[in-house]
């Protein structure tokens, strides 16, 4: 079958293309911006990429057009598909019908930590010899690609609540039919498609409704939004994480070391993890991944061994360079909670370091200014914060930051880079936070730091 994918360079659609190619289909695709690293993965897999949406790319007619959720009415290819009556479907629907329907799906949902937790879970199953398939919205450093079909019935997927397509406004994850479901957390996000938190909760309950009775749902007991979701009805087995003696499973630190901790079950089972990751949020991610793996037969001890060798994910506190004592990290933080937990986690590991955060509020929700009142506080764990505000943004970062003396706003890259480099002395932990390319700032900072030496 010849699949043509519209919007192929997004993390989900690109990964879907890799899976389709691995299954033996001919795959072509197009995007407005064909760029690495996804374009590199696709080209290496023998997938033809087309820049832009000229309808001539639909000749000869493909057997099926898979339409990404970034496509909307008015797009030349979308209009051509509809006018010509070509066969089409969404990416999540194709994935369910051609791959997931016959698999044991382990899905990871939530506002934060989906990519990291799904990567941990896939790695645990791999370490246990289970050779799972997976589709993850990032590149796990323990694997070479963002997706693969796998060799067994087990399939790990990052379960996104974003909408499916212009013709299917349900969340993507309702197509995945999970038997094991992790719901990491839930708070308001995606203001471009959801009116409020209750609207997102409704989609999460649609997901809960399709988990079978002998399936399992893993969630934190303290998250009020998820508790409301489950109170609407849950027909599956549940495991809830939280505080000791109040939940089915919890985390215990060992000697107050933020990088050594125990995974603990109320039933008495426990195992110790030693790793290099920072942040209490990642410890909870690890617990959720280990519990999900336990549902398919992996012991807690084996999960702890795997997690001790977990290498994280590209753009999740990824160390890009260390120059003259300055460590430069790339992080995908897209929400005030993500900014706060990442910086607080780093502060716990490096209590005396000079932590500098360079942040671009770039997500659709951030661009609308929905979280503007939370931004200054979200970065409180940093010693200095440099915010980037595009000139065309419709709200003021200066007003949001207010009188915070250690936080400054810039609207051009050159002056910001100059000031960041001047503030970066030996021993500095420099964290660049954005869910986009941020004007290539990572390489520009590396170049400037080298020139300073």
Please give, one letter per residue, the 3-state secondary structure of the chain: CEEEEECCCCHHHHHHHHHHHHCCCEEEEEECCCCCCHHHHHHHCCCEEEECCCHHHHCCCCCEEEECCCCCCCCHHHHHHHHHCCCEEEHHHHHHHHHHCCCEEEEEECCCCHHHHHHHHHHHHHHCCCCCEEECCCCECCCCCCEECCCCCEEEEECCCCEEECCEEEEHHHHCCCCEEEECCCCCCCCCCCCCHHHHHHHHHHHHHCCCCCCEEEEECCCHHHHHHHHCCCCCEEEEECCCCCCCEEEEEECCEEEEEEEEECCCCEEEEECCCCCHHHHHHHHHHHHHHHHCCCCHHHHHHHHCCCCCECCCCEEEEEECCEEEEEECCCCHHHHHHHHHHHHHHCCCCEEEEEECCCCHHHHCCCCHHHHHHHCCCCCEEEEECCCCCCCCHHHHHCCCCCEEEECCHHHHHHHHHHHCCCCEEEEEECCCCHHHHHHHHHHHHHHHC
Q: Are 98 and 105 in contact (CB under 8 A)?
A: no
Please report, to the nearest 10 degrees, the dihedral formed by the alpha carbons of residues 173, 174, 178, 184 taken in order: 50
**pLDDT tens, 350-364?**
888 999 999 888 766
Residues 407 and 294 in one domain: no
Once rounded to an integer, what is the mean pLDDT over residues 245-251? Answer: 93
Residue 313 in domain: no
Residue 30 in domain: yes
Question: The pTM is what?
Answer: 0.84
Q: Are 6 and 29 in contact (CB under 8 A)?
A: yes
Residues 265 and 350 in one domain: no
Residues 302 and 323 in one domain: no
**pLDDT tens, 406-424?**
889 888 899 999 999 999 9
Residues 32 and 52 in one domain: yes
Domain boundary, last residue among 93, 124, 141: 93
Domain boundary, last residue among 93, 126, 157: 93
**pLDDT tens, 4-17?**
999 999 889 999 99
Residues 238 and 256 in one domain: yes
Residues 293 and 329 in one domain: no
Residues 64 and 111 in one domain: no
Q: pLDDT > 70: what percent of the chain?
A: 96
Domain extent at residue 325: 318-452
**pLDDT tens, 61-89?**
999 999 999 999 999 999 999 999 999 99
**pLDDT tens, 355-389?**
999 988 876 666 666 667 778 888 889 999 998 98
Residue 39 in domain: yes
pLDDT surpassing 90 at residue 195: no
Domain boundary, last residue among 307, 328, 343: 307
Residues 89 and 161 in one domain: no
Residues 334 and 368 in one domain: yes
Residue 437 in domain: yes
Q: What are phi and psi of 278, to 5 degrees?
A: -115, 160
CATH of the domain at 81: 3.40.50.720
Q: pLDDT > 90: what percent of the chain?
A: 62
Averaged confidence pLDDT in the chain: 90
Once rounded to an integer, what is the mean pLDDT over residues 337-358? Answer: 88
pLDDT surpassing 80 at residue 176: yes
Residue 294 in domain: yes
Residues 262 and 353 in one domain: no
Residues 335 and 440 in one domain: yes
Q: How many domains is the chain built from?
A: 3
Residue 312 in domain: no
Predicted local confidence at residue 69, as pLDDT: 93
Confidence class of residue 401 from pLDDT cuts 50, 70 and 90? confident
Distances (CA, A) of 117 to 85, 108, 182, 267, 452: 40, 7, 9, 23, 38
Compute the distance between CA of residue 315 and CA of residue 139 in angstroms, rounded to an integer: 9
Residues 271 and 356 in one domain: no
Looking only at the bridges linking them, the beta strands covering 147-148 and 133-135 are antiparallel
Compute the distance between CA of residue 391 and CA of residue 325 in angstroms, rounded to an integer: 33
Predicted local confidence at residue 231, as pLDDT: 96
Residue 230 in domain: yes
Confidence class of residue 453 from pLDDT cuts 50, 70 and 90? low
Residue 160 in domain: yes
pLDDT surpassing 70 at residue 102: yes
CATH of the domain at 400: 3.90.190.20
CATH of the domain at 209: 3.40.1190.10
**pLDDT tens, 285-312?**
999 999 999 999 999 999 999 999 998 7
């Amino acid at each position: 079958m010849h699949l043509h994918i519209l919007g192929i360079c997004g993390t989900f659609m690109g990964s879907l293309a890799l899976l389709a190619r691995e299954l033996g289909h001919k795959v072509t695709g197009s995007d407005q911006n064909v760029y690495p690293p996804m374009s590199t993965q696709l080209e290496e897999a023998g997938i033809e990429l087309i820049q832009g949406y000229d309808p001539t790319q639909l000749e000869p007619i493909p057997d099926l057009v898979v339409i990404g959720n970034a496509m909307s009415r008015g797009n030349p290819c979308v209009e051509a598909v509809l006018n010509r009556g070509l066969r089409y479907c969404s990416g999540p629907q194709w994935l369910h019908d051609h791959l997931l329907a016959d698999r044991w799906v382990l899905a990871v949902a939530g506002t934060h930590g989906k990519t990291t937790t799904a990567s941990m879970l896939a790695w645990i199953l791999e370490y246990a010899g289970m050779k799972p398939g997976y589709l993850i919205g990032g590149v796990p450093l323990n694997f070479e690609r963002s997706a693969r079909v796998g060799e067994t019935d087990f399939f790990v997927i990052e379960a996104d609540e974003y909408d499916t397509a212009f013709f299917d406004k349900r969340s993507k994850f309702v197509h995945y039919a999970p038997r094991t479901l992790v719901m990491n957390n839930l708070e308001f996000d995606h203001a471009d498609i959801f009116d409020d938190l209750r609207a997102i909760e409704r989609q999460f309950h649609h997901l809960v409704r399709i988990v079978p009775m002998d399936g399992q749902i893993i969630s934190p007991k303290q998250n009020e939004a998820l508790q409301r979701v489950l109170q609407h009805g849950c027909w599956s087995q549940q495991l809830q994480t939280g505080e000791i003696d109040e939940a089915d499973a919890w985390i215990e630190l060992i000697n107050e070391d933020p990088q050594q901790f125990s995974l603990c079950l109320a039933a008495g089972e426990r195992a110790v993890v030693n790793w290099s990751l920072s942040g209490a949020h990642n410890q909870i991610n690890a617990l959720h991944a280990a519990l999900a793996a336990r549902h398919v037969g992996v012991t807690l001890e084996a999960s702890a061994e795997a997690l001790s060798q977990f290498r994280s994910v590209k753009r999740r506190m990824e160390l890009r360079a260390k120059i003259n004592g300055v460590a430069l990290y790339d992080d995908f933080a897209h929400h005030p909670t993500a900014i706060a937990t990442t910086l607080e986690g780093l502060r716990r590991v490096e209590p005396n370091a000079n932590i500098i955060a360079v942040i671009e509020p770039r997500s659709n929700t951030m661009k609308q200014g929905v979280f503007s009142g939370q931004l200054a506080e979200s970065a409180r764990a940093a010693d200095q914060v440099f915010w980037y505000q595009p000139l065309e943004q419709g709200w003021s970062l200066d007003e949001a930051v207010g009188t915070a003396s250690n936080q400054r706003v810039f609207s051009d890259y050159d002056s910001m880079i100059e000031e960041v480099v001047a503030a970066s002395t030996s021993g500095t932990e420099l964290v660049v936070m954005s869910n986009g390319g941020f004007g290539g700032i990572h390489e520009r900072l590396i170049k400037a730091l080298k020139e300073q030496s």
